[in-house]
């Protein structure tokens, strides 16, 4: 063994001996309950997997594979140190990676929540950042399945650029974005990618876009057999396909450019704290929603899809462009009550702002649910979110909205929820909606989001301990002269009655904090519940420091004692930082 390899192994052993010294009493008790002569044999480990970890199908061979994976330890079984190492290992995660795609993928697209981006080409803020294909590639690699492109004439009016219109964002050529999508569309998932186009083009440029799209994607492009289908196809039938969604062409309206305004307050500038973390979500209980800004925003008044969707052709439109559209978008004339009417003969996509959804949810909740059973609802951020912040996605999901569109280049709590939701179903970007959101009752009734529901299950969470900060952070990152003072926040994001956050005590001056605290969460709608976990470092004189976060879909949590990896506020996984937690349902 080389000197370098030996030093790495020695470091790892020393690390786990240090962690073992802090091991919670319950962990030690469990080990001795399932061991003989301080050794957990394959047979006893298999019993532990079945009884404690609730892995009913675990075999002796599975137990032996775990023992074999822990190199440098006793091959005949686990001692306390190697048992502890197994509990903290990547083979003991709260969501089983090998589960893969396991939802029924043969249903219409309207039956799924879809990982959706907003202004997918922006590198930063909504007003003055660069447009690029890089954020599109990053989103696709993460598993995002809906990419939004705003398409405008270039400066010479002879080609097409992608940019956020009426702002100072610098453009990127459309063809560059299309080529990036073609190259990376299926890096993370083989299920279809939808390109939503916000179109500001003349008919001749629409024809040019049609040629670009057809040449770039070729056979990958999905072309429907009928212009407006009665039902959407399934994700399974659309594997490795690209789908175009936009409103049917209308007469060209050229937008006017505006100068950047110097008054940040006019755009609702976020505080430094909100930039890093995102605000805690407003209350949705008792049918009310806390509004910070009740004004109708610019996109509400000048919606990208505010025209009447009509089958009538415009005299100068490009027919080849219209034939690209597989998912038609648009609004009927009238208010939101008219927009939500269901046409039995065709399906479509409707886009509304987060504010429009919040207001409609107060009185039209059941109508939204009925609409989303067959049609697709896209929700987009209000235009005052110039810092690329986001909103609470649960408002859309609890009403069946498939495309809750997020700024993927923003950070903070709402985006953590989005990432957490789409860890489900193998991370393929499509999560089947709960049955109650897609089925009707015997009298054609639909789910009422305001209905008072009984508790369906209770999630019991034990927060044992954490480790890894000593290896992933500078030793002066949290405090200049002393070890950090960590506490954990744990709670649920879901329907209003399930929303709650709790916190552990603060463990002072310890890189290996041990909390040993238990929390119980009664859940009325576990099918939409996301487990929120955050670690903070208490600071008496300044804002508490960030120590990691993750969000996990409750319906895919593995019972038992699990190693929970934490992520940075940008959503990047730390190398070593993990929590040891236990999940139990009853």
Catalytic machinery residues: 118, 164
31 Rama class: left (phi>0) / alpha (psi -120 to 50) / beta: alpha
Task: List, as own/partner pairs, every contact residues 468-472 make where C-beta atoms lie below 8 angstroms and the sequence separation is at least 24, other chains included.
Answer: 468/566, 468/574, 468/575, 468/576, 468/577, 468/578, 469/511, 469/547, 469/548, 469/576, 469/577, 470/511, 470/512, 471/15, 471/575, 471/576, 472/574, 472/575, 472/576, 472/577
- Widest Cα–Cα separation across the chain: 87
The Cα 159–Cα 154 span in angstroms is 5
Between the alpha carbon of residue 447 and those of residues 195, 370, 402, 424, the distances in Å are 30, 8, 16, 23
DSSP of 390-442, one letter per residue?
---THHHHTTT-SEEEE-TT--SHHHHHHHHHTTSGGG-SEEEPPGGGT---T
Q: Which residues pair with 571 in a beta bridge?
A: none
The Cα 57–Cα 528 span in angstroms is 27
User: Strand locations in 204-306, DSSP E?
Assistant: 242-246
Give the chain's end-to-end CA distance (angstroms, integer): 49
The Cα 336–Cα 5 span in angstroms is 65
CB 132 within 8 A of CB 120: no
The Cα 562–Cα 469 span in angstroms is 18
Q: In the numeric block, which tokens belong to residue 41?
A: 């044999």
Three-class SS of residue 182?
helix
Please identify which residue in the block is written with the tokens 């190697």: 82
Between the alpha carbon of residue 111 and those of residues 7, 235, 239, 344, 396, the distances in Å are 53, 10, 16, 16, 14
Q: For residue 301, how many other CB atoms are within 10 A of its CB?
A: 11
529-546 burial, b at 16+ Cβ within 10 Å, e below that, comes to bbbbbbbbbeeeeeebbe
The Cα 329–Cα 133 span in angstroms is 24
- Encode 327-373 in three state secondary structure: EEECECCCCHHHHCCCCCCCCCEEEEEHHHHHHHHHHHHHHHHHHHH
100 Rama class: left (phi>0) / alpha (psi -120 to 50) / beta: left
Three-class SS of residue 210?
helix
Question: Rg of the chain over CA atoms, in angstroms?
Answer: 26
Going by C-alpha positions, the residue among 432, 555, 435, 430 that lies closest to residue 498 is: 555
């Amino acid at each position: 063994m080389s000197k370098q390899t030996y030093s790495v192994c020695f470091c790892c052993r020393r690390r786990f001996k240090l962690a073992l010294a802090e091991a919670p009493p319950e962990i030690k008790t469990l080990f001795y309950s399932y061991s003989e002569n301080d050794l957990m044999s394959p047979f006893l480990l298999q019993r532990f997997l079945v009884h404690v970890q609730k892995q009913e199908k675990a075999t002796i061979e599975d137990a032996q594979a775990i023992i074999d994976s822990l190199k440098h330890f006793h091959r005949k079984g686990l001692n306390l140190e190697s048992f502890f190492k197994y509990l903290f290992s990547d083979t003991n995660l709260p969501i089983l990676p090998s589960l893969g795609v396991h939802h029924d993928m043969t249903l219409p697209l309207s039956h799924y929540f879809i990982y959706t981006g907003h202004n997918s080409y922006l590198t930063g803020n909504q007003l003055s950042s660069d447009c690029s294909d890089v954020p599109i590639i990053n989103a696709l690699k993460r598993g995002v399945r809906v990419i939004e492109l705003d398409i405008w004439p270039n400066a010479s009016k002879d080609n097409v650029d992608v940019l956020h219109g009426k702002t100072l964002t610098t453009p990127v050529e459309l063809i560059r974005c299309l080529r990036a999508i073609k190259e990376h569309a299926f890096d993370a998932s083989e299920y279809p990618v939808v390109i939503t186009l916000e179109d500001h083009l003349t008919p001749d440029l629409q024809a040019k876009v049609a040629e670009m799209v057809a040449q770039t994607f070729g056979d990958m492009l999905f072309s429907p057999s009928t212009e407006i289908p009665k039902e959407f196809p399934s994700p399974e039938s659309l594997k490795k396909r690209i789908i175009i969604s936009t409103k049917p062409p209308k007469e060209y309206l050229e937008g006017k450019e505006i100068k950047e305004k110097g008054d940040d307050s006019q755009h609702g500038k976020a505080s430094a704290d909100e930039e890093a973390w995102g605000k805690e979500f407003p209350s949705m209980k008792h049918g009310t929603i806390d509004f910070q800004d009740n004004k109708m925003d610019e996109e509400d008044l000048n919606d990208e899809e505010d025209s009447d969707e009509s089958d009538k052709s415009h005299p100068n439109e490009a027919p080849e462009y219209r034939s690209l559209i597989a998912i038609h978008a648009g609004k009927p004339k009238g208010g939101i009550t008219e927009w939500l009417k269901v046409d039995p003969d065709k399906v479509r996509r409707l886009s509304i702002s987060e504010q429009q959804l919040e207001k409609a949810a107060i009185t039209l909740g059941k109508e939204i649910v009925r609409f989303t059973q067959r049609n697709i609802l896209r929700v987009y951020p209000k235009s005052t979110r110039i810092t690329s912040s986001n909103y609470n996605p649960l408002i859309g999901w609890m009403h069946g909205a498939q495309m809750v569109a997020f700024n993927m280049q923003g950070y903070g709590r709402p985006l953590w929820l989005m990432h957490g939701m789409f860890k489900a179903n193998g991370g393929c970007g499509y999560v089947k909606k709960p049955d109650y959101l897609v089925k009707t009752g015997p009298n054609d009734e639909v789910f009422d989001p305001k209905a008072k529901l009984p508790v369906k299950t209770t999630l019991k969470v034990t927060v044992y301990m954490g480790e890894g900060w000593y290896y992933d952070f500078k030793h002066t990152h949290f405090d200049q002269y002393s070890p950090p003072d960590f506490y954990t926040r744990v709670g649920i994001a879901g329907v209003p009655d399930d929303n709650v956050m709790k916190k552990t005590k603060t463990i002072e001056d310890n890189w290996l904090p041990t909390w040993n605290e238990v929390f119980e969460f009664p859940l009325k709608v576990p099918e939409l519940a996301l487990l929120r976990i955050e670690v903070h470092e208490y600071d008496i004189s300044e804002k508490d420091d960030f120590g990691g976060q993750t969000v996990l879909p409750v319906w895919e949590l593995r019972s038992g004692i699990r190693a929970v990896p934490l992520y940075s506020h940008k959503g990047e996984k730390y190398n070593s930082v993990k929590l040891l937690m236990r999940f139990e349902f009853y």
